[in-house]
Amino acid sequence: MMSLVVARELSKTYKMGDVEVDAVKNANFEIGEGAFVAFVGPSGSGKTTVLNLIGCLDKPTGGGLEVTGFDVTRLDRFQAARFRGTNIGFVFQNFNLIPVLTVAENIEYPLLMVQNRPAKERVTRVNALLEAVGMEDQKAKLPDQLSGGQKQRVAVARALVTNPKLVLADEPTANLDHKTAHSILGLMKKMRREMNTTFIFSTHDPRIMAEAEVLFTLEDGRLITHATEEGGTND
Amino acid sequence: MINVVKIALRNLRRYKRRTQLTLALIVTGMVFFLVFSSVTGSFKNAMVGEVTGSFLGHIQIHQRGYIASIDNLPLQLNLQPEQVKIIDQVLDQDGAVAAFSKRVKFGGAFSNYKQTTNIRINGVNPEQEFATCPQLLSRFVEGSADKSSLERGKILVPELLAHGLKIKAGDTAVVVATNENGSVNGKTFVIGGILSSATGPGGRDGYIHIDDARELLRMTDNAVSEIVIRINDFGQLDKVRNRLFSAVASERTQEGKPIFEVHTWEKLSPFSNIAKMIDVMTFFLMLMLVAVVLISIMNVMIMAVYERIREIGTIAAMGTQPRRILALFITEGFIMGALGALLGLIIGLSIIFGLNLLGISYSFGRQEALILQPTISFSQVFVISGLVTFVSVVASLQPAWKASKMEPIEALGHV
């Protein structure tokens, strides 16, 4: 399996006044194409920072990071936006749907406003995703008319509509009840199978961790374990 | 672009009350400006029309130094026949000139045989004068408003003088004047008509036939005090004035100075200062409107950006280019400005239309029953609507710029 994400001695240090805080310290990891990966650890362990670095939302202060074969540490903000729009989908903890757009329009947004795809292609893609996440009958509704689980389904569809190589989900189930959380993870797994998209998510919920096929454990910014579904563990 | 507009419209609808309040501010400002400028414009046009149409004309030509001594009506500064001939040729050849009238102006004593008072008199050719100052005819309060009232031997006298001396049309009176050489002469006239007063210099002058004036002043040639010109297009006033001045500028005194002075009505009437004041007030009202639009739109857009920081972070994270985020917010400001301008125009023009239907009358100085006819030109409508829309876009720039420069990671983390 080819590596989609390669991190070498990846570090991120934040300055808070005179104090320097290591959010991620010398992390080394590789994530293969089509993987279903979770970064786990307690609050403040660096999970979100790792996802932000992979998602080109933030820049590392040390080390190297390649995503889909590109050295993303060299991208400026315009190139990073273009890279994200082409290669990465995002699912947020708070769903972050655009409140003035309907379900279908929210899903359509990246195709329309980021990739400028033609109308026919947009309709086809949006309908396919609506069907895949089971939201066809809700497509005309606005986000505030949906439940949390429905919102996250829409968010997953929006993340996948551009057919990205990678979907990053930061605590995607944190605002959902356990049953809904499992259903969302089930949906993500299903989409991963159907589209061969790599899913990387962060969580600190042990029940959700069990769904991951590859598990990276972080503690105080350090990657301490790397476990696979087959039971292998690397310290 | 259509999609940017669609999203912008929905965002404006999302904050309905705030959008309505901002629109109300813009609309109110627009309406005030339109109504004010149309009403004051109507007043100004009426006054300028009155001043130029009843006695001043649009442009006047004198011999150099005449205007500086105009209070004395100096006969020695009259335009000489050969100078008049030059001006005649220039005016005849200029297509912008609608009509012109030659006047002999002098001061004299007016007597009804019982009382005597001072009078300023214009000796005119009635046909030329009525063509150049057509509103003179509307000032007749007694007598027949046509050239027969200014036949030789007749005089038109101002209303105040007629009241003071208790004379009426058909009565006789004597005018006594001193000519250029100091010789005094008198002539009997029949009152051909009585004229209401008009605002400004010349508004209380009397009129006689130019040949009577020359006879009274014992003039042996065709010298005139001034030549009053009416042009076809008032909007071309300065252009025509400059052209006429250039055409006669080659005539020089021995000292090399131009013989002729060519003045527009603005140089001859104090009302031009009132007209300028009206323009200044309109300008300041426009500045206030600009300030209202600028502050209200900027306030709304700053709030919109602040409240939607996470949303901005989300769309930026999804890969939306900064210029598109910029466009989204500028479009919101543009729509609000354009919509406000449109609504303001509809309401403002309706009020202007209503005021015209009502036919409100007003008085100014000695003039009564002037009808308020507010009008606004297409260019004014275009400029003010464009300005409001442009200012709205300018007001949105800073908040939109701020939104487009946001780092997605910081925006997403905003609480």
Q: Are B309 and B317 in contact (CB under 8 A)?
A: no
Residues of chain A with Cβ-Cβ distance to B320 below 8 Å are 81, 85, 113-114
Residue B173 within a domain: yes
Q: Is residue A130 part of a domain?
A: no
Which residues of chain B lie closer than 8 angstroms to A109, CB-CB? 315, 318
Residue B337 shares a structural domain with residue B380: yes
Mean pLDDT computed over A202-227:
83
- Which range (A172-181, B90-99, B226-235, B241-250) has the least confidence? A172-181
Classify residue A145: in a domain, yes or no. no
**Do B296 and B330 belong to one domain?**
yes
B2 contacts in chain A (CB < 8 Å): none
Question: A17 is in which domain, residue-wise?
Answer: 3-94+164-234
Out of B13, B310, B320, whose CB is closest to A114?
B320
The answer on pLDDT for A232 being more than 60 is no
Examine residue B263 and state whether it is found in any structural domain, yes or no. no
The answer to whether the Cβ–Cβ distance between B319 and A83 falls below 8 Å is: yes
Residue B60 lies in a domain: no
Would the CB atoms of A109 and B315 count as touching at under 8 Å?
yes
How many distinct structural domains can be found in chain B?
2
Q: Do A78 and B322 touch (CB under 8 A)?
A: yes
Q: Which residues of B touch A113 (CB under 8 A)?
A: 3-4, 315, 320, 324
Structural domain includes residue A152? no
Same domain, B315 and B388: yes
- DSSP lists the bridge partners of residue A170 as A202
Determine if residue A44 is left, alpha or beta; phi over 0 gives left, psi from -120 to 50 gives alpha, anything else beta.
Answer: left
Residues B321, B287 share a domain: yes
Identify the CA nearest to B266 among candidates B70, B110, B47, B95.
B47
Nearest neighbour of B318 by CB, restricted to A52, A84, A99: A84
Answer whether A81 sits within 8 Å of B10, measured CB to CB: no
| Alpha carbon distance A149, B342 (integer Å) | 44
In a domain, B246, yes or no: yes
DSSP 3-state of B157: strand
pLDDT digits (tens, 9 = 90+) for A118-140: 989 999 999 988 988 888 899 99
Task: Establish if A84 belongs to a structural domain.
Answer: yes
The CA distances from residue A136 to A132, A140, B43, in Å, are 9, 9, 65
Q: Measured between CB atoms, does B314 come within 8 Å of chain A?
A: yes
* B83 found inside a domain: yes
Residue A192 above 60 pLDDT? Answer: yes
Strands B97-111 and B226-231: antiparallel
The answer to the question of residue A228 being in a domain is yes
Residue A63, both tokens: 């080390």
- Domain boundary (B197, B230, B258) is at B258
Is A135 within the bounds of a domain? no
* Residue B359 domain boundaries: 2-50+273-412
The DSSP output letter for B372 is: P
Number of domains forming the structure of chain A? 1
Beta strands in B64-205 (DSSP E): 97-111, 116-124, 140-143, 154-158, 172-178, 184-195
Shortest CA gap A56–chain B (Å): 9
d(CA B400, nearest CA chain A) in Å: 17
Mean pLDDT of chain A: 87
Contacts of A77 in chain B (CB under 8 A): 322, 407
Residue A111 confidence (pLDDT) above 80: yes
- Evaluate whether residue B264 is within a structural domain: no
My answer on whether B120 and B235 are in the same domain is yes
What pLDDT score does A166 carry?
93
For A85, name the nearest residue in chain B, comparing CA atoms only. Answer: B319
CA distances from B351 to B24, B31, B32, B285, B358 (A): 16, 8, 10, 18, 10
pLDDT score at B202: 67
Residue B139 lies in a domain: yes
Residues B171 and B44 in one domain: no
Give the tens place of pLDDT for each residue, A135-156. Answer: 889 999 999 999 888 898 899 8
| DSSP symbols for B77-101 | GPBPHHHHHHHHHHHHH-TTEEEEE
Instruction: Looking at the structure, tell me whether residues B90 and B165 fall in a common domain.
Output: yes
> Is B203 found in the same domain as B120?
yes
Confirm whether B266 is domain-assigned.
no
Q: Are residues B105 and B201 in the same domain?
A: yes
Domain boundary among B226, B258, B290: B258
Shared domain check, B319 and B172: no
What pLDDT digit, counting tens, does each position of B353-398 carry?
A: 999 998 888 876 656 677 888 888 899 899 999 999 999 999 999 9
Give a yes or no: residue A204 inside a domain. Answer: yes
Q: Which two tokens stand for residue B41?
A: 């414009």
Q: Do B42 and B92 have their domain in common?
A: no
ipTM of the complex: 0.89
User: Looking at the domain assignment, is residue A137 inside a domain?
Assistant: no
Q: What is the pLDDT of residues B120-173, one digit of tens each?
A: 999 999 999 999 999 888 888 888 888 899 999 999 999 989 999 999 999 999
| B102 and B29 belong to one structural domain | no
Instruction: Please answer yes or no on whether A82 and B319 come within 8 Å at the CB atom.
Output: yes
* B408 contacts A110? CB cut-off 8 A: no
